[in-house]
Structure 1
Amino acid sequence: MRNSLNNDFTDRRSTAADAKANLLSAYRAAKEISEPTRLARQAERILIVEAREARKAERDRLKSEEMAQAEAMIAAEKAQADAAEVAEIEARKKAESARIARVVEDEAARKAERDRRYAARKARQA
């Protein structure tokens, strides 16, 4: 009979203490048995964390390389745009100076033609 009616307090207390002791010994035995698998799982988790950190470091390295490439490309494009702008400014200055030179030459030719006509008129009058 499992539950006898004649259980007094000391019997119940000793039964509870025995049950606790049995549970504790079962827990310790299960812990000792599972220790190798726990260590293996822990080692596996460490390997997983290390692999994850390595992948993150690789991603960060690739990202920084891409950023450096993008910055270099932007700098090259800016330098190219600046060079094109400088070339355009130089071309405008050259065209302006050529136009001014043509205007001066045309003015000098007009004056020379006027002076020639004046001299011819004076020669006819004299």
Structure 2
Amino acid sequence: MSAFQIPGFQERQQAAARARSAALAKYKARLPVDESVLAERTARRVAREKAEAEKKAAARRAREAAARAKEEAVEAKREQVRQAAVAAEAVVKAERDAEVQARADAKAKKREERLLWTEEDRKAARDARYAARKARRAR
């Protein structure tokens, strides 16, 4: 059994020339393309490309509409949150104002009552404060 021989340069050139001539013969042996068939293929290809382009455009429009709707929903939610925050802030401010007013009213009422106290009432209040202080220290 003989060993494998690496082909030389001329052998490679001849093999390439044979392959080229075989490809050329195969190309020349093909039947000529009819113009009507070629026009029909072209029309089908153009119609297919047009349909694909329309489909892509419709999908893009649908995506854009969905994104727009989502952004509008997010903006509406933000507006709701903003309005809720403003309302909550108004409630807190009203509560704070009411509390301040109640304190001021209580302080004014207490001041008016103290003006009406007699010496015995002042002494009783002083004794009550003293007793309360003693009770706190006793704990």
Report if TM-score (shorter chain) is over 0.5.
Answer: yes
Of 53, 62, 65, the match for 2:60? 53
Runs of 4+ in 1 over 3 A off after TM superposition: 12-16, 22-26, 28-33
Does residue 1:18 correspond to 2:19, yes or no? no
Q: CA deviation at 1:15?
A: 5.7
Percent identity between the two aligned chains? 19
User: Over the residues paired in the alignment, what is the CA RMSD in angstroms?
Assistant: 2.8
Question: Which residue, 102, 105, 110 being the options, matches 2:112?
Answer: 105
Summarize deviations over 1:54-84 as a string: whole Å, max 9, x none. Answer: 1011111101111110111011000000000
Match of 1:39 among 34, 38, 46: 46
Deviation by residue 1:63-122 (Cα, 9 ceiling, x = unmatched)? 111111011101100000000010010010011011101210111110xx349xxxxxxx
Q: Which runs of 5+ in 2 are unaligned?
A: 1-18, 121-139
Which structure's residues are more often helix, by fraction? 1
Displacement of 1:19 in angstroms is: 1.1
**What SS does the aligned partner of 1:81 have?**
helix
Partner of 2:128: none
Deviation at 1:20, TM superposition (A): 2.1
Deviation at 1:39, TM superposition (A): 0.6
How far apart, CA to CA, are the structure 2 residues paired with 1:18 and 1:32? 26
Aligned residue number for residue 96 of structure 2: 89
Which residue matches 2:79?
Answer: 72
The change in CA–CA distance for 1:114 and 1:39 in structure 2 (over 3 A counts) is same
Paired residues in the alignment total: 101
Cα distance, 1:29 vs structure 2: 8.9
Structure-1-length-normalised TM-score: 0.68
TM-score normalized by structure 2? 0.62
